[in-house]
A and B are shown apart, each in its own frame.
Chain A
């Protein structure tokens, strides 16, 4: 049933994202092409317009990814379409999981489209070796696959955390009889503050010895590589822990306290 839910969730959102990705990449290519005709860019109105449009679409794409994530959850589950979704013979956690996974897919898609468009814009500099992309170069100066893996994992864990904090806020706001949107915003502020306090409390623990020895924690060139690993894994574990909590809140409300208007 989870696969079927995801199929319909993907179908519902598929009409939105791929055309925007295509527009972004085409505009990046056009901007690059116009630039190559006139590298100094003086009095180049078409280049200016094309670059501006590219920027609008880039910003719009991220805003849309965010808005669609909220809208799909709210409109499809807690507004009128919820009458259909919640009467399907499907467990509540599968509804949440399908929305979450599809949202992660589009978040990754948007990030990939943005990176690809930047590569297109600077293709000649990359080819000529003028611009080097440094990812996961450790303190000894060599490429570290583990660091890259940790970084990707951290991004995904952070994404899941970001989506679930919003689902939990909307669900919590749903407990209110009136002004549910205001209640959701209030719930978000509470959950975000809670997360920050928790992060600070936890962060102090692993770094306490460091603080005792040096009086401060310094992260930058010269930081032992083990420290990077520590901080990354700690952050991943933190995101997973809070994501589980937010998932549980959302599931509890939608399962036990559902009251569709």
Chain B
């Protein structure tokens, strides 16, 4: 099966600092993948490279066989760890904007999720709390019918009650042929939904394994993570 995401010799340096070093990776379609690693391990860098927000120093990254660009942006739905919402729109306007640019966005899905999370479509983005902004961004991202979802810390800033709903949303809203890559360090919360895990540390790939294989060894992902990244 053709991989949805493939890295070969992918390296990214910032001045003298190596953020990613010679990453070789293949991620297949139709699975939920955890991109796990301690803070500063290179998770965000990898996801930004996949979105063409960073330019690789060496090596390459391909999505559905394409280099990041116009073609990949149509099929990738990306949730950054930053708040990218501007301060002059209402929630309704930003959904309209996504609809204008992404053919695969379903406004019905977006409004339904807003209702479930008690967010008013008439609220100004400027006045939303940090957690609510994160929820709005996640709603925009999950309302698309993308082939690859790249979620950078999707549950980092929201309360535990919303966390469950968000994880449920992620599992139930994506099409079974799509792939979801979730970067997080809150492993315990996401463990139950993952099919595959990737561990990275200090810019290097430490492990890429199906979750079933880890469980067959009698371990949990959380336990293995603690073992690998023991301080």
Give A residues with C-beta under 8 Å from B: 1, 4, 7-8, 11-12, 15, 76, 80-84, 86-91, 177-178, 256-260
Contact = CB atoms under 8 A, between A and B. Distances in A.
B101 A83 contact: no
A88 B53 contact: no
A209 to B, nearest CB: 49
Contacts of A178: 15
B54 A259 contact: yes
Nearest to B102: A89
Contact of A81 (B52, B70, B86): B86
A7 B14 CA distance: 36
A258 B73 contact: no
B54 A81 contact: no
B48 interface: yes
B74 interface: yes
Contact of B53 (A11, A12, A87): A87
Contact of A91 (B54, B70, B76, B82): B70
A13 to B, nearest CB: 10
B88 interface: yes
B55 A257 contact: yes
A258 B100 contact: no
Say whether chain B's binding surface is mostly helix, strand, loop, or mixed.
loop
Given A12-B86, A81-B86, A177-B14, A259 B101 contact: no
Interface residues of B, number: 24
Contacts of B48: 260
B80 interface: yes
Contacts of B83: 80
Nearest to B75: A89
Contacts of A89: 70, 73-74, 101-102
B215 to A, nearest CB: 35
Contact of B101 (A1, A11, A81): A1
A82 to B, nearest CB: 7
Contacts of B188: none
A91 B52 CA distance: 12
B76 A15 contact: no
Nearest to B97: A8
A4 B15 contact: no
B101 A88 contact: yes
Contacts of B86: 12, 76, 81
7 contacts: A7-B100, A12-B88, A83-B80, A86-B53, A87-B78, A89-B70, A177-B14
A86 B15 CA distance: 23
Interface string B84-121: 11101000000001001110000000000000000000
B84 A259 contact: no
A90 B54 CA distance: 17
B184 interface: no
Nearest to B48: A260
A87 B83 CA distance: 14
Given A4-B101, A89-B101, A258 B53 contact: yes
A87 B15 contact: no
A171 to B, nearest CB: 13
Interface string B124-147: 000000000000000000000000
B54 A87 contact: no
A31 to B, nearest CB: 32
B51 interface: yes
Interface string B41-80: 0000000100111110000000000000010011010101
